[in-house]
Amino acid sequence: MERALQLAASPGVPLRPNPRVGCVVIAPDGTIAGEGYHHGAGTPHAEIEALKDAGDRARSGVAVVTLEPCNHTGRTGPCTEALIDAGVAKVVVAQRDPNPIAGGGLEALAAAGVEVEHGLLVDDARALNPAWTFAHENGRPFVTWKFASTLDGRSAARDGTSRWVSSLPARRDTHALRALCDTMLIGTNTVEVDDPHLTVRDADDQLLADQPLRVVMGERDLDPERRVFDDAAETVQLRTHSPLEALTTLYRDYDRHHVFFEGGPTLAARFLKAGLVDEVVTYVAPLLLGAGKSAVGGLGIHTLSMAMRLEITDVAVIGEGSEANVRLRLTRFQGAHLDTSAEPGGA
C-alpha cells in the first residue's frame, strides 16, 4: 500500500478534477506483478494500468489500491469489472470512495466472489486528495478564505485604497495557492470596487494554461466590461446571497471541490457566520493604518468569550526586508456563538 501511495503522488499528476490513485498488483507467489497510477481525467485508471502491466500474473493475485475501484461507467469503464475479468482473488483498499456515483465497488467485487478488505493506511490515502474527499463527503467544496491585512487588521485605508496591502512576493505566493484550487470566488462589490482579474499567473507574470473557474456571487447586475468577465478564464455569476446555495451549486452543477474565496469583509462575514470557511490564509503586512476597512465585517460577537478561535497550522515569512509579509494558515474553528439573526448586507 505504501508503494501504491507513492505511485498516486507521482510528479505531474493533476490535482483536479479526478482523485490521485495508485495501484499495485501482487502475483500469487508474493512478488509485484504490476504497478500503475491515474494520470488525469480521461486516462486509464490506476487499476487498469496495473493490470495491463501485470498481464496473466494478476490471476489469483491481490490488487492493492489507494481508493476503492469505481463501479460505474464514465470516460472509462468500471474498474470492478476489469479486476473481476483479470481473475484477481483479493482487493485491498485504503479509502472507500465517497463519491455516490462511483462508490459501491467493494460490494460489487464481493458479490463476484472476490475477497475484499479496506482501511489500510486510510489516513494517508485521504491526505492524497483532501479537497476531493471533503467535497464528496460534505456535498460542497472545501473553502479557503484568503485576505491581506495590516498589523492592525485593516484591508484598506480610510479613503478605500487597498493596492497594495500585501507585498509582491506575497501576491506571487497567492497565485501559487490559487493554482491548487479549482474555483476562485468573490462578491459583486469586490468586482465593482477593485475590478480584479482573478486569474492565476506564474512567477514570470504569465497566465497559466489551466485556470480555475471564476465565480462572482451576488444578485446585482455588473458591467460586462469588468476584467473578471474577459476570456482569460471561464466566469459564472451565481445570483444568490446564500453561501450554502452557492457552494452546493458549485459542487452539484460544476463538479468543484476547492473554492479559494477572496471576497470583501461583508461576504467574508456571511461565510463565517454560516460556518462555511474551512481554512484561512492571511498575509499580514508590517503596516499600521489606525483606521480603514476591516478585513471582516460584523459577526455578532459582543464579548471576548464569544470570539471565533482558530488554530494556526503554518507560519511563513514571504519575501525579505520591506517586502516581507507573514503568511498564516489557520483552521479548526472553535467557540463563536454567533448571532445569525441579522444577516450582513448583500454581496
Residues 169 and 215 in one domain: yes
Q: Is 159 found in the same domain as 219?
A: yes
With pLDDT > 70 as the criterion, what percentage of the chain qualifies? Answer: 95
CA distance 130 to 139: 14
| Close Cβ partners of 304 (under 8 Å, ≥ 6 residues apart) | none
326 assigned to some structural domain: yes
**What nine digits make up the cell of 4?**
501504491
Is 126 known to sit in a ligand binding site? no
CATH number of 13's domain: 3.40.140.10
Distance of CA 292 to the CA centre of its chain: 32
Residue 146 has a pLDDT of 97
Shared domain for 90 and 122, answered yes or no, is: yes
Neighbours of 237 (CB within 10 A): 18
pLDDT of 280 > 60? The answer is yes
Domain presence at residue 327: yes
Query: Which of the two residues, 302 and 93, has the higher pLDDT score?
Result: 93
In-domain check, residue 298 = yes
Residue 340, pLDDT above cutoff 60: no
pLDDT confidence of 208, banded at 50, 70, 90?
Answer: very high
Grid coordinates of 178: 490559487
344 occurs within a structural domain: no
Residue 249 counted as an annotated binding residue: no
SS3 190: helix
Of the residues 100, 129, 158, the one at which a domain ends:
129
Residue 191 has pLDDT above 90, yes or no: yes
pLDDT at residue 339 in the model: 43
Check pLDDT > 90 for residue 335.
no
**Amino acid 108: pLDDT:** 95
Q: Could you give the residue numbers annotated as active site?
A: 47
Residues 147 and 256 in one domain: yes
Same domain, 24 and 95: yes
Q: Summarize pLDDT for 319-334 with one digit per residue, the tens.
A: 998 899 999 999 966 5
194 marked among binding-site residues = yes
Q: Are 99 and 26 part of one and the same domain?
A: yes
Going by pLDDT thresholds of 50, 70 and 90, the confidence category of residue 160 is confident
Q: Which position has the higher pLDDT, 303 or 344?
A: 303
Do 155 and 191 lie in one domain? The reply is yes
Domain membership of residue 208 as a residue range: 139-335
Are 48 and 36 a contacting pair, CB within 8 Å?
yes
Whether residue 163 is found in the same domain as residue 257: yes
CA–CA gap between residue 132 and residue 78 (Å, rounded): 20
pLDDT digits (tens, 9 = 90+) for 93-150: 999 999 888 789 999 999 999 999 999 999 999 999 999 999 999 999 999 999 999 9
Please indicate if the annotation marks 164 as binding a ligand. Answer: yes
Give residue 341's pLDDT.
40
User: Which among 106, 129, 152 is the end of a domain?
Assistant: 129
What's the predicted TM-score (pTM) here? 0.89
Is pLDDT at 343 greater than 70 in this prediction?
A: no
Whether the pLDDT of residue 74 is over 80: the answer is no
CATH number at residue 169: 3.40.430.10
Residue 96 lies in a domain: yes
Number of domains comprising the chain:
2
Cell of 158: 480610510
Share of residues in the chain with pLDDT > 90 (%): 82
For the cut 70, the answer to whether the pLDDT of residue 260 exceeds it is: yes
Are 90 and 173 part of one and the same domain? no
Residues 11 and 77 in one domain: yes
Question: Does residue 144 sit in the same domain as residue 123?
Answer: no
- Do 313 and 194 belong to one domain? yes
